[in-house]
Structure 1
């Protein structure tokens, strides 16, 4: 999270740039209401002509049928345009929101787990869900309304000028007053919307954090106090939301007041002119011309009325943009995702192994304490290496850096290519990482294993489970691999969780395997069996294991140890044990 303020102009420009990304859909959504406005002019003129011919010329129904049909057709066409414009606007808005959410998610994932661990998960989820949703009103309603308000009143006034210059001047002088007073009300609406968006983010983050720690709160008897605090925060959010609505209603009331004055002024002028009490024209005002002016008077203010109804959407969107920037530190731009490249049928298979090398490697902990300093390591393709060291010495940190999950200084090469230059998709395809606390989701054991390859069939899942020795405990259960487990592996032991996570990797085809304590919580016999399956799978692949277990280290090709921030070659446990036995003999 950042407290760096983003200027109002920057937020407005960013939102406008997003809207332009809709392309042709945005153009259509803006053009169709303008076309409807042009048809409205024709509709009002023909309708006024029908009434004029009926009242003044005494035309019969037969003579008026063509004109009446024209009016009906124009009304139907305008209704169809309104529906089509609404559909296009909504679809364009939904498309923009979906693309923006993907871009925000990519931004969050690109920051890595170190950055996300420092953020409130509730506040981040609010930025990706609620704040993006707050942009919907701007995309779907405000932008079309703003274009109509900027074009149609002026166009109507220009059309009215040759018919009656007094009515045209009334349109031109009264219409601009509405946006001026709306802007005055809008400043307050934007401030209230910003406060409401921040309050929503705080409440969401607080609720998510309390939900995550509900067991701890229950054990310490704090559940009642936290429930009261959540209620008070919710009440505060409700009050802030009502303030936003109050200001929105105020802006609408201002518009209605001036629109009513404008319509009343036109009606008063036309009525007094017909009564010959006012004579500002050089020629007589016909009934058709007077009716046309009266019919168009409310329509001149309708686009402004529509903009006022959606003016708070603009304030909400700018407040949402500010909150997104506050959570992510910046406002990301939409990018065009590259099209997936088809792989030729006769394309050569990728190598099963990958070399890894590091030079001048320096890694710091989240509190800026250096864990690894100017270290170097070379792992040939296909080699199996172990890294030993005390708890907290930096083994997990080192593996996370190699998986590009933690920032580092220095050089890390995969097959001679800088780690930063490897595309994200290829990196995740070719490098498999298993941490000490793998995430298990609520579902069946098979579903959790299938996260390694979503389209794996039951036979493949079964083979992976057997290799990881998952079936050693699931076969004793009534439903086997279809047994349900709870969130975070509820119902499984620590060793069972590790084996389940290993089975995920066995569904993949990585060239480099990074494992952090893969046999933790296992007894010696199960550990040996799991290692058999692991080494069978890792044959021909590059394997780097961080472990405390000498049994694991003994089965690796080479052993390193982290000490004093450096990575040092260490005696191989198996060879050391052999020398010790010979000396004893």
Structure 2
């Protein structure tokens, strides 16, 4: 067993505890049903023996017949209740795990180098977690039955007939032995199938996101063929896993049938006086009881074999989850919507800061020093690809940086996450818009924002002008990533979120991209007016934008160099 499989086994044990009382009841109820089964078989054998050998009348047998029916109904009810509790516990465990995985993903920086592809993350949280269902809902109750019931049944049968008891004790252990041998192959095949499912999910999600690009370059047919080929490969792997699972069941059925046939043969030969291994005569009641119990001795093992594949699937799923998302979180990371908090302007002080590309192969800024006073408005100039976006993201902890970044005299890493997010605002170059109305997209900036506040933010961002021409104004639905809007309109919708915040530090990455000169001037005027008393840093390649701010720096090579601004802006604090 590999280290990954051992870790997966321990993780399953930890997750089992989250099932609460329901999981233990799901395991315990079948054991109670097993005890009732012995009573039912004994009562049924007694009724038939008394009717045939004793010739008793139906009136005398009726109470026992009713007892058998009651036991039958009671066992069916217990079985249904156990299945329901197992499903309930499984759903609770899966929900807790999904919450923990999702909150762990949200707690990470979206720019982390080890961030999994979206398709792989979705597959892990949805498909791989779902693969745990069979283990908790079916395998665990079956394993409890297989571990105890055959021993209990054997202990009951052995004093009644040592030959039948010996046959059970010899044949029953062969089933889990061969099942384990087959299970090794099933585990390896299931691991490969889980990896193939993750790769297919990731590939499909990534191609779906890049559908427009594929269409523009005429690659849709080739990628469709690739998806079909990958799907076919996954189908074949799945069939191989099923073949091994069926083989496991066939092995079990063979030995179970062999054991039942051996007991039946022994009883038949004893009745015709061909075998004389008993010290006392074999009664019809005892023979019927042994025949009724013979398949039940093997039934828990057969049930375990039927669900043994669920254990392999669960282990493979956990290995794949940890491969894609890292170590399973012990508990859900506390998350809450960040409520913007009013506060003074935040001063920035960078000393010896070095920034690298995510692969750490190229230096973006080397040994950089930068001081921005609280309430100052500054511009970071430079062409695309020079590191402006990386610098802004590093200022709010979304990029790893070497050196010291101080916000209001406190090291960036010492800021609690909720305080940092509540007192800063970052508008990225490619802001995320959701499939929702324009108003709902703006309202993401602040939970509980009133309609009047949303409309004021839309007016400041210049949205009202184009929204008025739309069928439902601000309530007009837009598609994912702003489908239905132009690039400039989508940028303004994202920018409007700024006006619902009360951030002490505002970081804007190309806020006037896609805008003409007139609209650029209007938007910048609104931003500067709103940012009075707040620290504002604007990354831009536009000199017209830079001249409206207090100071400017240019990224040249790996260094920040000061840039002169018009005289009327100099000295502004």
TM-score normalised to the size of structure 2?
Answer: 0.90
- Do the aligned partners of residues 74 and 506 (structure 1) sit closer, same or farther apart at CA in structure 2, a change above 3 Å counting? farther
Q: 1:461 aligns with which of 454, 464, 483?
A: 454
Q: CA deviation at 1:149?
A: 1.1
Q: Which residue of 2 aligns with 1:231?
A: 228
Structure 1: runs of 5+ lacking an equivalent:
579-585
Find the aligned partners of 1:52 and 1:577 in 2 and give their Cα distance.
110
Mapped pair 1:546 → 2:546: no
Equivalent positions of 1:123-134 (< 5 A) are 123-134=120-131
Deviations 1:189-246 (A, max 9, x none): 2222222222222222222333333333333333333322322222222111111111
Mapped pair 1:220 → 2:217: yes
Equivalent positions of 1:350-365 (< 5 A) are 351=343, 353-365=345-357
Q: 2:285 aligns with which of 285, 288, 293?
A: 288
Moved more, 531-540 or 301-310: 531-540
Mapped pair 1:327 → 2:324: yes
Find the aligned partners of 2:352 and 2:40 in 1 and give their Cα distance.
77
TM-score normalised to the size of structure 1?
Answer: 0.89
Q: Is the 8 A contact 1:6 1:325 kept in 2?
A: no
- Structure 1 counterpart SS, 2:536: strand
Q: Which residue of 1 aligns with 2:496?
A: 503
Q: Is the 8 A contact 2:341 2:502 kept in 1?
A: no
Q: Is the 8 A contact 1:550 1:573 kept in 2?
A: no
Q: Is the 8 A contact 2:352 2:369 kept in 1?
A: yes
Find the aligned partners of 2:215 and 2:145 in 1 and give their Cα distance.
56
- Structure 2 counterpart SS, 1:310: helix
Q: Which residue of 2 aligns with 1:582?
A: none
Q: Which residue of 2 aligns with 1:477?
A: 470
Find the aligned partners of 2:336 and 2:110 in 1 and give their Cα distance.
27
- Do the aligned partners of residues 512 and 300 (structure 1) sit closer, same or farther apart at CA in structure 2, a change above 3 Å counting? farther
Q: 1:135 aligns with which of 129, 132, 141?
A: 132
- Do the aligned partners of residues 455 and 217 (structure 1) sit closer, same or farther apart at CA in structure 2, a change above 3 Å counting? same
Find the aligned partners of 2:182 and 2:531 in 1 and give their Cα distance.
67
Q: Is the 8 A contact 1:108 1:116 kept in 2?
A: no
Aligned length: 569
Mapped pair 1:527 → 2:524: no
Q: Is the 8 A contact 2:425 2:498 kept in 1?
A: yes
Find the aligned partners of 1:23 and 1:420 in 2 and give their Cα distance.
38
Q: CA deviation at 1:427?
A: 3.5
Q: Is the 8 A contact 2:488 2:514 kept in 1?
A: yes
Find the aligned partners of 1:418 and 1:172 in 2 and give their Cα distance.
69
Q: CA deviation at 1:500?
A: 0.4
Equivalent positions of 1:59-138 (< 5 A) are 59-115=56-112, 119-138=116-135
- Do the aligned partners of residues 530 and 349 (structure 1) sit closer, same or farther apart at CA in structure 2, a change above 3 Å counting? closer
- Structure 1 counterpart SS, 2:471: coil
Find the aligned partners of 1:449 and 1:288 in 2 and give their Cα distance.
79
Q: 1:404 aligns with which of 380, 397, 407?
A: 397
- Do the aligned partners of residues 416 and 67 (structure 1) sit closer, same or farther apart at CA in structure 2, a change above 3 Å counting? farther
Mapped pair 1:50 → 2:47: yes
Mapped pair 1:204 → 2:197: no
Equivalent positions of 1:139-150 (< 5 A) are 139-150=136-147
Q: Is the 8 A contact 1:14 1:331 kept in 2?
A: no
Moved more, 27-36 or 409-418: 409-418
Find the aligned partners of 2:428 and 2:172 in 1 and give their Cα distance.
65
Q: Which residue of 2 aligns with 1:452?
A: 445
Q: Is the 8 A contact 1:554 1:574 kept in 2?
A: no
Q: CA deviation at 1:280?
A: 2.6
- Do the aligned partners of residues 425 and 50 (structure 1) sit closer, same or farther apart at CA in structure 2, a change above 3 Å counting? farther
- Structure 1 counterpart SS, 2:380: strand
Find the aligned partners of 1:60 and 1:207 in 2 and give their Cα distance.
71
- Do the aligned partners of residues 25 and 425 (structure 1) sit closer, same or farther apart at CA in structure 2, a change above 3 Å counting? farther
- Do the aligned partners of residues 381 and 162 (structure 1) sit closer, same or farther apart at CA in structure 2, a change above 3 Å counting? farther
Find the aligned partners of 1:32 and 1:413 in 2 and give their Cα distance.
60
- Do the aligned partners of residues 303 and 60 (structure 1) sit closer, same or farther apart at CA in structure 2, a change above 3 Å counting? same
Q: Which residue of 2 aligns with 1:583?
A: none
Structure 2: runs of 5+ lacking an equivalent:
none
Find the aligned partners of 1:422 and 1:167 in 2 and give their Cα distance.
73
- Do the aligned partners of residues 221 and 543 (structure 1) sit closer, same or farther apart at CA in structure 2, a change above 3 Å counting? closer
